[in-house]
């Protein structure tokens, strides 16, 4: 699928779950945008993807490394292992940020840096994939990351069964899962049990599978995602459907 639709599917996943997670206001907005960015994250294994081209040679070099470590495009990052690794990284960054105690005399701490980098990557990826902000989208993403770090919106603890998961980690897990589900609608599928098995799984039978950037995606999947996202956000903000 195109980066645009991966971002929309990620945003939809969080918006649809928003009411059940009791996430509202600024936390809902941050979660939707972060999950949109995380919806493009598994494609960091491809040097020409939206998220890999985000910060020039820095993200492209990282994408090259991920490509080698994960076995190539649509392998490790498009599996349960990929979801776990990305989510664990977000959880570690958030946990490190939690140890920060800023005062009026201290406005910076190195404890903010990992989370800020994660947030900047996701915000900027979402804006770039959705064609928001143009050439200044990355700057908007970095600015949003700084604001989020200092307001600690990304650290909102969301109850899931017996655990309390930071918003950032949950957004990354949902976005990556939505990405994989989207790719499982295409002819390529995803090896979700990599590296145990390279079998590519699909969500729909072959006659219903789509080809990336072709008519099925542009004229069926994309409009459905847009309508569903607006409906989910409308509902999550307290308006009955």
pLDDT in tens, 67-94: 999 999 999 999 999 999 999 999 999 9
pTM over 0.85: yes
Query: Per the domain annotation, does 241 fall within a domain?
Result: no
**C-alpha to C-alpha distance for 65 and 55, rounded to whole angstroms:** 15
pLDDT of 40 reads: 97
Instruction: Bin 167: left if φ > 0, else alpha if -120 < ψ < 50, else beta.
Output: alpha
Count structural domains, the chain. 1
Q: Report, as an integer, the average pLDDT of 54-59.
A: 90
The pLDDT > 70 percentage for the chain reads 98
Whether 103 has a pLDDT exceeding 70, the answer reads no
Whether 102 has a pLDDT exceeding 70, the answer reads no
Q: Report, as an integer, the average pLDDT of 111-138.
A: 92
pLDDT of 162 reads: 85
Of the candidates 215, 194, 145, which has an alpha carbon nearest to the alpha carbon of residue 2? 215
Query: Per the domain annotation, does 148 fall within a domain?
Result: yes
From residue 36, how far is each of 75, 94, 102, 160, 204 by CA, in Å?
A: 21, 18, 29, 21, 23
Provide the residue range defining the domain that includes 124.
3-236
Query: Per the domain annotation, does 118 fall within a domain?
Result: yes
pLDDT of 197 reads: 94
Any residues with CB less than 8 A from the CB of 50 and at least 6 apart, and which?
3, 40, 43, 125, 128, 129
């Amino acid at each position: 699928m195109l980066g645009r639709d991966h971002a929309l599917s990620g945003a939809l996943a969080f918006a649809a779950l928003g009411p059940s997670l009791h996430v509202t206001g600024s936390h809902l907005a941050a979660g939707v945008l972060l999950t949109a960015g995380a919806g493009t994250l598994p494609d960091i294994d491809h040097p020409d993807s939206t998220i890999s081209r985000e910060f020039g040679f820095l993200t492209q070099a990282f994408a090259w490394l991920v490509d080698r470590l994960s076995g190539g495009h649509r392998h490790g990052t498009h599996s349960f292992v990929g979801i776990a690794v990305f989510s664990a990284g977000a959880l570690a960054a958030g946990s490190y940020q939690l140890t920060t105690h800023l005062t009026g005399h201290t406005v910076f701490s190195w404890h903010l840096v990992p989370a800020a980098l994660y947030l900047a990557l996701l915000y900027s990826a979402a804006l770039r994939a959705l064609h928001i902000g143009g050439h200044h989208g990355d700057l908007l993403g970095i600015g949003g990351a700084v604001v989020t770090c200092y307001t600690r919106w990304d650290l909102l603890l969301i109850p899931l069964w017996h655990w309390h998961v930071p918003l950032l980690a949950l957004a990354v897990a949902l976005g990556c899962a939505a990405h994989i589900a989207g790719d499982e609608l295409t002819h390529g599928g995803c090896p979700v049990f990599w590296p145990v098995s390279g079998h590519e799984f699909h969500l729909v039978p072959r006659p219903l599978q789509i080809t990336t950037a072709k008519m099925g995606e542009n004229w069926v999947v994309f409009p459905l995602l847009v309508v569903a996202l607006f409906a989910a956000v409308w509902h999550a903000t307290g308006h009955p459907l």
